[in-house]
Chains A and B, each alone.
Chain A
Amino acid sequence: MKQVIVNPEKCVGCMQCMLACAAAHAKAESLFAAVEETPRPQPRVHVGAGLFNQGFPNRCRHCDPAPCQLACLTGAIFRDAATNTVLINPDRCINCASCAMACPYGVLRFHEEAAAPPGKTVAVKCDNCDARTARGNIPACAEVCKTGALVYDEMAHAMNEKTRQVARTISSDTTAQGVPDTVALYNTLKQATVKAGKAIRR
Chain B
Amino acid sequence: MKHLIIGNGIAGINAARAIREMDTTAAIFMVSDETFPPYSRPMISYVLEGSEPHAKLPLFAGNVYEDLNITPVLGHRVAHLDVQKKSIHLENGTEIDCQKLLIASGADARRIRVQGADLGNIFTMRTQQDVLDHLAAISQGVKNALVLGGGLVGFRAAHALLKRGITVTMLITSAYPLAMQVDETAGRMILRELQSHGLSVKIGVSVASFDGDNQVKAARLNSGETLGCDLVIVGKGVDPSLGFIAENAIEMDYGILVDPYLCSSVPDIYAAGDAAESMDIARQTRWINAIWPEAAIQGRIAGCNMAGRKVVYPGSLGRNVMRIYDLDVMTMGLANPEKTDDLEIIQAGDEKAGAYRRLVFRGDILVGAVLINRIEQGGMLRAMIENRVPVRIPKKYLMSLDFNYSRLL
- Chain A residues within CB distance 8 Å of chain B: 8, 46, 48-51, 54-56, 58, 67, 70-71, 73-75, 92, 94-106, 108-110
Contact = CB atoms under 8 A, between A and B. Distances in A.
B409 A100 contact: no
B406 A54 contact: yes
Contacts of B382: 101-102, 104
A75 B296 CA distance: 12
Interface string B362-395: 0000000000000111111011000000000100
A70 B46 CA distance: 20
B330 A75 contact: no
Contacts of A75: 40, 59-60
A49 B404 contact: yes
A55 B323 CA distance: 31
Contacts of A67: 379
Contacts of A70: 293, 296-297, 300
A48 B379 contact: no
B379 A49 contact: no
B43 A101 contact: no
B52 interface: yes
Interface in B39-65: 40, 42-43, 46, 51-52, 56, 59-60
B406 A48 contact: yes
Contacts of A73: 40, 42-43, 292
B330 A101 contact: yes
Given A70-B296, A74-B40, A97-B330, A49 B321 contact: no
B375 A97 contact: yes
B378 A101 contact: yes
B323 A97 contact: yes
A125 to B, nearest CB: 10
B8 to A, nearest CB: 16
A16 B117 CA distance: 63
A50 B377 CA distance: 14
30 contacts: A8-B406, A46-B404, A50-B407, A51-B397, A51-B406, A56-B405, A58-B405, A70-B296, A70-B300, A73-B40, A73-B42, A73-B292, A74-B56, A75-B59, A94-B46, A94-B51, A96-B42, A96-B46, A96-B321, A100-B321, A100-B376, A100-B378, A100-B379, A101-B382, A103-B380, A104-B382, A104-B383, A105-B405, A106-B405, A108-B379
Contacts of A109: 376
Contacts of B43: 73-74, 94
Contacts of B59: 75
B404 A106 contact: yes
A101 B181 CA distance: 15
Given A8-B409, A101-B319, A106 B380 contact: yes
